[in-house]
Amino acid sequence: MSKMERKTNRSIVRIILSVARAWIYEPLTLLATDKRAVAGFIIVLFYVGLAVIGPMVVPLNLTPNLESAYLPPSLEHPLGTDPWGRDIFAQLVHGAPDMLIVAFLAGLITVLVGTVVGIFSGYSGGTVDLIVMTITDIVLTIPGFPLLMVIAAFLIGSGIEVNIFMAAALLSITSWAGLARSVRSQILSIKREPYIEVSQTLGLGKLHIIFSEIMPNILPYIVMNLILSMIGALYSYVGLMALGLLPYRPGNWGAMMHMAMAVSGTVTGVGSWYVLAPAAAVTILQIGLVLFSNGIDKIFNPRLREK
Amino acid sequence: MNWILKRGLLAILTIYIVVTITFFLVRLMPGNVVDMLVITYMRDYGMSREDAYAMVKLLLDIEPSKPIWQQYLDYIWSLLHGDFGRTMSSGGTIPVMQPIVAALPWTIFILSLSTTISFLLGVGLGMLMAYRRGGLFDTGASTFASIVYAVPNYIMALFLLFALAIQIPAFPPRGSYDVSITPGFNLPFISSVLYHAFLPMMTYVITSMGGWMLAMRSNTIRVLGEDYVIAAEARGLKDRRVAMTYVGRNAILPLFTTLAINLGYMFGGSVLIETYFGYSGIGMVMGLAMSYRDYPLIQGTFIILVTAVIVSNFIADLLYGKLDPRVKLGE
Amino acid sequence: MSTPLIETIHASKIFEVRKGLLGVKKHIRAVDDISLNIGENEIVALVGESGCGKSTLGRLMLALLKPDEGQVKFRGEDVWSLRGEEFREFRRNAQLIPQDPYSTLNPMKKVISALYPQLLKYKIASNRSEARKMSAELLEMVGLSPPEDFLNRYPCRLSGGQMQRISIARALSVNPSFIVADEAVSMLDASLRIEILDILLNLRKKFSTAYLFITHDLAIARYFAAGERIAIMYLGNIVEVGDTEEVIQNPMHPYTKALIMSVPVPDPKLAKERGLPPLRSLEIPSLVDLPSGCKFHTRCPYAEKICEEKTPELREVKNRLVACHLY
């Protein structure tokens, strides 16, 4: 290797090490101070692991076997069987990727749209700001989940194919507004900060000011909101599925709840595992996300690090 | 004065927009609902195209031959007269407004009671947590609050139903009251109503109070650090007085914006919750409408439900306006 | 006379205030018809009480605000008509040192990020390592030693004095010909002030920078602008301009006199002898509801009828500019 190549290799290693330290080691040590956040993180990690590895490890057999219907939990069927004799645990595991991906996508879309709208409105100011904020206020006032229900009802009635991306986009239809509003008000107050004024006298340019000066100040908030948006998206996604308003997907937790209600009525003894297992799966994931979000603020905010 | 006007106009504008969205959903959804219904009627009832068409027109209260803007005006006109068309599931006999009007009071009853209880509980506990910050009570209560905040309200309904109505039959699993009792202002009826309302209310209260607790806790902590509170304590005012009039009042005010979100959350969850509890409120009606694909009824319940949310938000705004002196004096 | 470096010509800045959605629209003339020039390498101290519009005037000179009336010129050219390369050149030459040391730096970014972006942008440094070296030199210049200690720190780990020094280094990093120091030492502890002012004065010798030194503190103005000019501002107008020491020893405008008399004197006997400034009213009129004619007439002990009717112009009287009907 030439001297140049060796030098480049060394700097690459240095960069990787510093990134790893800043983005993995430091955040984890900070997180470790809050026990509840650690618990949340572990739960979320568990679900992600389940979604990634689970389907490869746990076999899914969807052929009906009515003799084994409604079996209670056993070694062979850790969470029992559904009305058609199929293993509930396997269904949960195979439904996990779908749930996580849709929730994450929807959260991502919500945060992207909300941030862009908020920054655009806040930085532009004046009439543009007024118009955009009025629209945002109206979207905010419309109750999101009922609207989703109606749109989904009409969609499914008109026989349109709803894929993952459409579902994710649908779930974000009103949730971006809250974030847009708070990002905008943060931009408004940051805009007036002296260091932004000086960035202007230094002639550093709009793009630099928005992405290099303003963004780091709202980034912790945005990441926090990603988790919160995922929580909301999961609520709506499972809710819509539980109502049977989105096309059936095998293993989808909400769909299982819907099937349970359609077939067994309510949580009567025999069918209870079929409805409670996915319900518990959703609940524990939500709890994990909430606890995790409580600890995230510390990681991204160097000011809080002093404490 | 000014501010109330602005909020009022916004409320009316929002309702109007929702009404318009619903209009276009029916008519402009790709794979037009009207056409699909005509096909369904032709197939299921063996009607001729004209008959099926006439049926659908009657049910959805639309006239597809007219130009869109005229249909729109007709639509708005009927709505203002309280005419939401007729339900499909009744074959066009029962007007949509009927089941809605019968069901709405039940939901309003449960939701207003639940909101009040969860708000008072949450705010009270939140303040207590703030005053005992860092202690065992605070940590335990915060964890509790985070957990119940995370549980989706309709799933809490399932859990409560399972635990307290099936496993331990402490509460009735279905219905809004015992149908053998005649409705009226008599004790058996009222107690039956409350008995049946208990589990649904518990669902709303438990899942909502977490948010209140945490928000009030952080607000109170913030206010406790403010100069005017320290000054009040230094002046020798009694702790209780300081807590109530200085800290409490200032910490609660920002929570009113959360009230609006919370109401939307409860109304939204009501569809599943009332369905699970068999509780005859507007949520259950909407749920049934959706499972039967009864579009006029879906439309009607949606508009009424959304209007109920928006009106409740507006009332909350009015209340906030009365309490916050900055708004009262027209800042 | 050579072209002044920065010049405002009858510049005004009007802010609109409206009470509520249906209230009356009121206009605040934060800067009212001000013509002030600053020459190359010159110091002008701008003194006035809070709310008189001095910060607004500073920002007009930096083209952070656009004048509603009049012009702002840089070396003879209207700043707002400059385009492209010429405007960038102006930007490089006009910098700001803000008042609050605790919000003058971006709390989420390291100290070095306050210095190197502009070094790279204006090609003062050709690459990152050179920029880093120059940043270190800049920190040394403002007395932060060893600079490596500071470059990678976040603002939360710095004291007010240290942050203000970085703010100065930042302003000087692009070698500007003009700096607006907006109450640059007002929020620092008294013991630090002279030190920071001395840094500014020393570096001025090195970089040949002109200053608009905004302050409400006459004593600070007297120290910093010694041998240079001072301008007194009241409710949006400049009322007196002249050599610093002369204006302070022999104030001409009644407001200047009152200002000088209100500087607290440590010796109680002297204070008692001196007495209070002879003002007719202690209330400062609101900027929304200004007095007619000369804005000071409601409080001026020498006010006459003409003061109520006609606004006095800023005229040259004996090597000084005064806006008063007395002269």
Distance CA C171, CA A205 (A): 16
In this structure, what token pair is assigned to residue B158? 């399932």
**What is the number of other CB atoms lying within 10 angstroms of the CB of residue A87?**
23
- Eight-class DSSP state of A69: T
Distance CA C13, CA A278 (A): 64
Q: What one-character-per-residue DSSP string does B68-100 give?
A: HHHHHHHHHHHHHTT---B-TTTTT-SBTHHHH
The confidence score (pLDDT) of residue B147 equals: 93
Distance CA B199, CA B161 (A): 7
The confidence score (pLDDT) of residue B33 equals: 65
DSSP run (H or E) holding C78: strand C77-78
**What is the number of other CB atoms lying within 10 angstroms of the CB of residue C324?**
22
Chains with ≥3 CB–CB distances under 8 Å to C: A, B
Inter-chain CB proximity A202 and C95 less than 8 Å: yes
Contact A291, B151 (CB under 8 A): no
The confidence score (pLDDT) of residue A21 equals: 67
Spell out which residues of chain C touch residue A205, defining contact as CB-CB under 8 Å: 121
Contact B293, A153 (CB under 8 A): yes
Q: To probe the interface with B, which of A44, A154, A253 has the most B CB atoms within 10 Å?
A: A154
Whether pLDDT at B59 is above 80: no
- The minimum CA-CA distance between C184 and chain B, rounded to whole Å, is 27
Instruction: Give residue-wise pLDDT tens across range C207-246.
Output: 889 999 999 988 899 999 888 999 999 888 898 999 999 8
Spell out which residues of chain A touch residue C121, defining contact as CB-CB under 8 Å: 202-205
Phi-psi region of B88 (alpha: psi -120 to 50; beta: other; left: phi over 0): alpha
- Within 8 A by CB and 6+ apart from C261, the residues are C274, C276, C277
Residue range B93-122: average pLDDT?
Answer: 90
- Within 8 A by CB and 6+ apart from C267, the residues are none
Instruction: Give residue-wise pLDDT tens across range C120-163.
Output: 999 888 888 899 999 999 999 898 888 888 888 899 889 989 99
Per-residue pLDDT for chain A (307 aa), expressed as one digit of tens each? 677 777 777 777 777 776 666 666 666 666 667 788 888 889 999 999 999 988 888 888 778 877 777 777 777 788 888 878 888 888 899 999 999 999 999 999 999 999 999 999 998 888 899 999 999 989 988 999 999 999 888 887 766 777 888 889 999 999 999 999 999 999 998 988 999 999 999 989 888 888 889 988 888 888 889 999 999 999 999 999 999 888 888 888 998 888 888 776 666 666 677 888 899 999 999 999 999 888 776 565 544 443 3
The confidence score (pLDDT) of residue C271 equals: 73
Residue A26: how many CA atoms within 13 Å on its side-chain side?
A: 13
What residues does C242 pair with on adjacent strands?
A: C230
Residue range B181-185: average pLDDT?
Answer: 73
In this structure, what token pair is assigned to residue A80? 């029992």
Nearest CB among A195, A204, A219 relative to C117 is that of A204
Angle (deg, nearest 10), helices A215-242 and A144-157: 50
The confidence score (pLDDT) of residue A306 equals: 37
The confidence score (pLDDT) of residue A46 equals: 93
Q: Which of C94, C4, C90, C78 is nearest to C42 (CA)?
A: C4
What residues does C11 pair with on adjacent strands?
A: C34
Inter-chain CB proximity B166 and A153 less than 8 Å: no
Task: Report residue C71: phi and psi, to 5°.
Answer: -135, 160
Q: Is A126 on the interface with C (CB under 8 A)?
A: no
Task: Report residue C126: phi and psi, to 5°.
Answer: -90, -20
Q: To probe the interface with C, which of B2, B10, B331 has the most C CB atoms within 10 Å?
A: B2
Inter-chain CB proximity A195 and C104 less than 8 Å: yes
Contact A112, A246 (CB under 8 A): no
Whether pLDDT at C62 is above 90: yes
Q: What is the pTM of this model?
A: 0.82
Task: Report residue C70: phi and psi, to 5°.
Answer: 80, -170
What residues does C233 pair with on adjacent strands?
A: C238
Task: Report residue C72: phi and psi, to 5°.
Answer: -125, 125
Q: Which of A164, A187, A177 is nearest to A225 (CA)?
A: A177
Maximum average pLDDT range among A272-276, B71-75, C11-15: C11-15
Q: Which of B7, B67, B24 is nearest to B310 (CA)?
A: B7
Distance CA C124, CA C118 (A): 8
Tell me whether the omega of the peptide bond preceding residue B325 falls within 30 degrees of 0, making it cis. no
Nearest CB among C91, C108, C117 relative to A217 is that of C108
Contact C285, C298 (CB under 8 A): yes
Distance CA A161, CA A275 (A): 26
Contact C217, C235 (CB under 8 A): no
DSSP run (H or E) holding A31: helix A26-31
What residues does C34 pair with on adjacent strands?
A: C11
Size of interface B-C (CB pairs under 8 A): 7
Which residue is it, tokens 């209070």? Answer: C276
Contact A118, A180 (CB under 8 A): yes
Q: Which residue has the higher pLDDT, B242 or A156?
A: A156
- The minimum CA-CA distance between C31 and chain B, rounded to whole Å, is 26
From C20, which residue of chain B is nearest by alpha-carbon distance? B2
Q: Which of C298, C300, C326, C299 is nearest to C313 (CA)?
A: C326
Q: How far is CA B120 from CA B199, B212, B268, in A?
A: 19, 9, 22
In this structure, what token pair is assigned to residue C302? 């020498």
Alpha helices in B47-186 (DSSP H): 49-60, 68-80, 97-131, 136-150, 153-160
Nearest CB among B30, B149, B275 relative to A160 is that of B30
Tell me whether the omega of the peptide bond preceding residue B105 falls within 30 degrees of 0, making it cis. no
Residue B113: pLDDT band (50, 70, 90) is very high
**What is the number of other CB atoms lying within 10 angstroms of the CB of residue C277?**
16
Distance CA B156, CA B160 (A): 6
Whether pLDDT at B61 is above 60: yes
Residue A226: how many CA atoms within 13 Å on its side-chain side?
A: 12
Strand order in the sheet with C25-38: C25-38, C6-18, C69-74, C77-78
In this structure, what token pair is assigned to residue B330? 């027209």
Q: Which residue has the higher pLDDT, C34 or C19?
A: C34
Distance CA C245, CA B66 (A): 87
* Amino acid letter, A266: T
C-alpha dihedral, A106 to A111 to A113 to A117, nearest 10°:
160
Task: Report residue B133: phi and psi, to 5°.
Answer: -60, 135
Inter-chain CB proximity C118 and A208 less than 8 Å: no
Beta strands in A135-202, from DSSP E residues, in sequence order: none
Q: What one-character-per-residue DSSP string does A120-153 give?
A: HHHHH-HHHHHHHHHHHHHHHHS-HHHHHHHHHH
Residue range B71-75: average pLDDT?
Answer: 80
Distance CA B311, CA B2 (A): 18
In this structure, what token pair is assigned to residue A264? 């067994």
The confidence score (pLDDT) of residue C291 equals: 80
- Within 8 A by CB and 6+ apart from B154, the residues are A239, A242, B269, B272, B273, B276
From C92, which residue of chain A is nearest by alpha-carbon distance? A202
- Within 8 A by CB and 6+ apart from B134, the residues are none
The confidence score (pLDDT) of residue A132 equals: 94
Q: What mean pLDDT, rounded, does chain C reach? A: 87
Inter-chain CB proximity C20 and B6 less than 8 Å: no
Spell out which residues of chain A touch residue C114, defining contact as CB-CB under 8 Å: 195
Task: Round to the nearest angstrom and report the end-to-end CA distance of chain B.
Answer: 10
Checking A24-27 for CB contacts under 8 A at 24+ apart, the result is A26/A299, A27/A299
Range with lowest mean pLDDT among A114-118, C36-40, C286-290: C286-290
Chains with ≥3 CB–CB distances under 8 Å to B: A, C
**What is the number of other CB atoms lying within 10 angstroms of the CB of residue B68?**
12
Q: Which residues of C264-273 are buried (b: 16+ CB within 10 A; e: fewer)?
A: eeeeeeeeee
The confidence score (pLDDT) of residue A239 equals: 93
Spell out which residues of chain C touch residue B6, defining contact as CB-CB under 8 Å: 21
Spell out which residues of chain A touch residue C156, defining contact as CB-CB under 8 Å: 302-303, 306
Contact B312, B197 (CB under 8 A): no
